Amino acid sequence: MFIYGKPGTGKTAVTRFVLQHLSAKSSEIDTPLSVSYINCRLAGSEYRVLSMLSQSVKVPVPFTGIATAEVFDRFKQGLKAMGGILISVLDEVDMLVKASGDKLLYELTRINETSPTGKIVLIGISNDLNFKDLLDPRVLSSLSEEEIVFHPYTADELYDILLDRAKIALVQDGVTEGALRLCAALAAAEHGDARRALDLLRVAGELAEREGGRAITEDYIRKAQWKIEHDRVTEVLRTLPLHQRLVLYSVYFTQQENPKETLTGNIYETYERICRKAGMEPLTQRRVSGLLNELDAMGIVNSKLVNLGRHGRSKRVRLSIPMEQVQSLLKEETRLS
DNA sequence: CCTCCACCGGAACGTGAGGAGT
DNA sequence: ACTCCTCACGTTCCGGTGGAGG
């Protein structure tokens, strides 16, 4: 089965809920059934997904050291030995396939053909609606027998969810209707993500509590939204590796010196200068270009491909976070200060 | 209309850390 | 002791490209 839907539309929650009921029912009627839930993005690689699968059939696998094919064999052995049915949920499978292809999925679908005892049921969850394009037709035919699409929540639905939670979590009249509506609207504008909506309400509640407010008002919701964004960025910035930070500073300085010419070429020059001053070996332009793309993906920087005709084509890069945030990060930098 | 710039981005490959199996 | 894994992070190489200016 395939489950599609944007983040925060309930895919994972619903799947877990159903799984829980299934395993409760199976122990009630005494049927051999085990379930495993794996988040492929968190797992990171084909190897680690496999090793987690193996663990779910009680086969311990070292976290590194043996060949992927070997882990796969052990998993098959374990499944066979265990018998029954393994329901395996692969959350964010699209990440797995993008990183390491659909080989693993293909192999997994083939298990049922060869293994008489011990069958596997695959449930793939994906954020990417075009995920199917990445798959080989053979994999597709055996996988997508059933599809469910989770649509983004509308503002009204989000409002209901929030209201429900607010009743449990907050004192009576702890939140104004307007604040709830705003909260739902903000989250709905951002792809109808329920998790975001709940986060927003929670943070707003914390803010209100700290300031001794009597109820969560629209004002607190707005503040909370700002805070969430700010915290997210600070956290990301703080954990950036050295050269990634250097590239970020280069963008910052280039943009300050010459706001119009923030092309990769100029940024790279600045970067080289910084490296030389700090007595470090600069990375190649290719690598820096990759780092810039990563910063872009994290939403720290915004880059756009531009064509300067005779002057070639390049990328125009802009910071998409406030300058002050980079400044304060720079202040913590003892080596570069 | 054609050229050619200045970079983009894919692919293959290298290295060193962390570790398993025999 | 030796071979063989994964994986993150880089490098080298190279074909690709949209449009200003000849």
Tens of pLDDT, residues A229-283: 999 898 889 889 999 999 999 999 999 988 888 999 999 999 999 999 888 899 9
Q: Do β-strands A147-150 and A2-5 pair in parallel, antiparallel, or remain unpaired?
A: parallel
CATH of the domain at A226: 1.10.8.60
Give distance CA A293 / C1' C5 (Å): 30
Residues whose CB falls within 8 Å of the CB of residue A256, separated by 6 or more in sequence, listed in order: A323
Is position A300 within any domain?
Answer: yes
Query: Strand B footprint at Cβ < 7 Å?
Result: A 62-66, 263-266, 268, 285-286, 289, 292-293, 305, 308-315
Amino acid at A110: R
Q: What confidence score (pLDDT) does residue A337 get? A: 62
Q: Given the structure tokens 């005892």, which residue do they identify?
A: A117
Residue A336 is predicted with a pLDDT of 66
Residues of A from 24 to 63 whose C-beta is within 7 A of strand C: which are they? 44-48
Cβ atoms < 10 Å from Cβ of A260 = 8
Q: Among A134, A150, A166, give the residue marking a domain's end.
A: A150
Question: What whole-number distance in Å separates Cα of residue A39 and Cα of residue A92?
Answer: 6
pTM passes above 0.85 = no
With tokens 């053909």, the residue in question is: A113
C-alpha to C-alpha distance for A242 and A271, rounded to whole angstroms: 12
**Residue A140 and residue A20 share a domain:** yes
- Rounded, the Å distance between the CA of A107 and C1' of C6 is 20
Strand C lies under 7 A from the Cβ of residue A241? yes
Residues A145, A31: one domain? yes
Please name the nucleotide lying closest to A306, CA to C1'.
Answer: C18
| Neighbour-count burial of A189, counting CB atoms closer than 10 A to its CB (0-12 exposed, 13-18 middle, 19+ buried) | exposed
Domain hosting A176: range is 155-237
- Which one, of A218, A151, A156, lies nearest residue A184 by Cα? A156
CA A152 to C1' C16, whole Å: 38
Contact A143, A106 (CB under 8 A): no
* DSSP state string for A95-133: HHHHHH-SHHHHHHHHHHHH-SS-EEEEEEEES-TTGGG
Task: Tally the C-alpha atoms within 13 A of residue A327's C-alpha that lie toward its C-beta.
Answer: 5
The pLDDT assigned to A97 comes to: 81
Q: Using only C-alpha atoms, what is the Rg of chain A?
A: 25
Which residues of chain A fall short of a pLDDT of 50? none
Is A185 found in the same domain as A95? Answer: no
Residue A10 inside a domain? The answer is yes
Using a 7 Å cut-off to protein CB atoms, list the covered nucleotides of chain C. Answer: 4-14, 16-21
Domain boundary among A150, A169, A187: A150
> Does residue A337 fall inside a structural domain?
no
Q: What is the pLDDT, as a whole number, of residue A127?
A: 84
User: How many helices and strands, by DSSP H and E, does chain A display?
Assistant: 15, 7
- Residue found under tokens 């882990």: A71
Domain stops at, among A195, A214, A237: A237
- Answer whether any strand C atom is within 7 A of the Cβ of A286: yes
What are the CA-CA distances from residue A250 to residues A66, A108, A289 (Å)?
41, 46, 12
- Whose C1' is closest to the CA of A288: which nucleotide? C10
User: At A320, which CATH number?
Assistant: 1.10.10.10
Residue from A165, A162, A164, A192 nearest A179 by CA: A162
Q: Which of A9, A10, A103 is nearest to A49 (CA)?
A: A103
Q: Are strands A85-91 and A119-126 parallel, antiparallel or unpaired?
A: parallel
Among A262, A260, A248, A256, residue whose Cα is nearest residue A301: A248
B3 closest protein residue (CA to C1'): A310
In the structure, how far is the CA atom of residue A67 from the C1' atom of nucleotide B12, in angstroms? 21
